[in-house]
Amino acid sequence: MDHLGGYSQLLSCYVWKLKNCKFHMCSSEAVATIWTIEQVHRNYNFSMQKGRGRTSRIRRRKLLRTSASGGVNESHRSEFIELKKWLKERKFEDRNLTPAYFPGTGRGLMSKTSLREGQMIISLPESCLLTTDTVIQSYLGPYITKWMPPPSPLLALCTFLVSEKHAGDQSLWKPYLDILPKSYTCPVCLEPEVVDVLPQPLKAKAKEQRARVQEFFASSRDFFSFLQPLFVEAIDSIFSYSAFLWAWCTVNTRAVYLRPRWRECLSAEPDTCALAPYLDLLNHSPHIQVKAAFNKETGCYEIRAASRCRKHEQVFICYGPHDNQRLLLEYGFVSLHNPHACVYVSTEI
């Protein structure tokens, strides 16, 4: 009852803050409050499950130690155990980081040991990357090669994601697909009535983005129909707008940058995106500078720490010098204390 009392008190305090302060709170404060509610809820669930033995005491102490730095270790979760096995088969093992949940930023990666400036923090072999090469070498390859005009690199990646997600247990990428978000918070995924209450300049951008994605989907439907021989179910039920939007957001919010490559069977748009399982659990901080790139000599996508990081701290990378409007549009979040923050003023004002 103690737990329940404390929990509901804390929760109602935050809910009250959200309800009553919504007119005074900026969107980033509101988002932070929602995250705090989530964290209270998670801590509550954890404490209700705790046992009374020595092992539970040790575990609890360990949790307190890690939560002192903000993160709760999540490496015990079945999806991360499966992902780790899958990465090991592809010659990747991580000694520096571990998946964890952080108040404020949500799921991310936490350092297991202190990291020096310039130290390699992740070196992910090419065999773990999902690129257009992966797609072309798959069962989709012959269809992509035959389709005219050639599909874009982005369409190839989205098609592969939707198809593999549909394959479920049969997919070779299942352990990766299982850790991907089920839904996204980018404005392109919001209901039009919600977009309507956004500030004018952001609303215009969000509408533009939605129209672009809808047009991209509409213009790809003939290509999807061409893939029907690969599936038993009707193609429209597999390549629905919601499945396509999920795949688009997956690439848009998580892909890393590779040097442009050109493939004859793909359109001339730059082919620069790769999905990098595990590495894509790194969250963004505008205050961090990291060195990240594909190293041709080692055949790995490498990230080096640009500054030191203490044990059990969240390890961040920087997605770019983005203001909060851009972060929300492209990644579905805003950054507190963003040095690139700016206010957009419409021309009428």
Ligand X SMILES: C[S@@+](CC[C@H](N)C(=O)[O-])C[C@H]1O[C@@H](n2cnc3c(N)ncnc32)[C@H](O)[C@@H]1O
Residue 254 near ligand X by CB under 6 A: yes
Q: Which residue in 28, 67, 283, 314 binds ligand X (CB under 6 A)?
A: 283
- Give the position of tokens 């790194």: 282
In three-state secondary structure terms, 76 is: coil
Residue 281 near ligand X by CB under 6 A: yes
Residue 6 near ligand X by CB under 6 A: no
Cα distance between residue 268 and residue 258, in whole Å: 15
Minimum gap (Å) between residue 281 Cβ and ligand X = 5
Residue 253 near ligand X by CB under 6 A: yes
Minimum gap (Å) between residue 336 Cβ and ligand X = 8
Interface segment toward ligand X; rule CB under 6 A; list 48-56, 226-234, 290-298, 329-337: 329-337
Q: Which is nearer to ligand X, 132 or 252 (CB)?
A: 252
- Give the position of tokens 């773990």: 128
Residue 106 near ligand X by CB under 6 A: yes
136-151 burial, b for 16+ CB within 10 Å, e for fewer?
bebebeebbeebeebb
| Element containing residue 111 per DSSP (H, E) | strand 106-111
In three-state secondary structure terms, 218 is: helix
Asked if residues 122 and 303 have their Cβ atoms less than 8 Å apart, the reply is yes
Residue 98 near ligand X by CB under 6 A: no
Interface segment toward ligand X; rule CB under 6 A; list 72-80, 125-133, 139-147, 330-338: 330-338
C-alpha 31: how far from chain center: 17
- Give the position of tokens 């793909």: 266
Interface segment toward ligand X; rule CB under 6 A; list 42-50, 100-108, 145-153, 226-234: 100-108
Nearest to residue 284, comparing CAs of 328, 343, 342, 250?
328
Residue 92 near ligand X by CB under 6 A: no
Interface segment toward ligand X; rule CB under 6 A; list 68-76, 103-111, 264-272, 298-306: 103-111
Asked if residues 93 and 87 have their Cβ atoms less than 8 Å apart, the reply is yes
Q: Which is nearer to ligand X, 108 or 175 (CB)?
A: 108
Minimum gap (Å) between residue 302 Cβ and ligand X = 17
- Give the position of tokens 């130290």: 119
Interface segment toward ligand X; rule CB under 6 A; list 9-17, 206-214, 265-273, 282-290: 282-290
Minimum gap (Å) between residue 39 Cβ and ligand X = 13
What are the backbone dihedrals phi and psi of residue 167, each rounded to the nearest 5 degrees, phi first? -70, -20
The contacts of residue 185 (CB under 8 Å, 6+ apart) are 332, 333
Residue 36 near ligand X by CB under 6 A: no
* Binding track, positions 171-210, relative to ligand X; x by CB under 6 A: ----------x-----------------------------
With 0-12 / 13-18 / 19 or more C-beta atoms within 10 angstroms meaning exposed / middle / buried, residue 277 is buried
Rounded to 10 degrees, the C-alpha dihedral 328/29/340/325 comes to 20
In three-state secondary structure terms, 92 is: coil
Number of residues counted as binding ligand X (CB under 6 A): 16
Q: Which is nearer to ligand X, 136 or 202 (CB)?
A: 202
Q: Which residue in 128, 280, 305, 314 binds ligand X (CB under 6 A)?
A: 280
Q: Which residue in 92, 160, 278, 331 binds ligand X (CB under 6 A)?
A: 331
Contact residues: ligand X, CB under 6 A: 105-108, 181, 253-254, 280-284, 331-333, 335
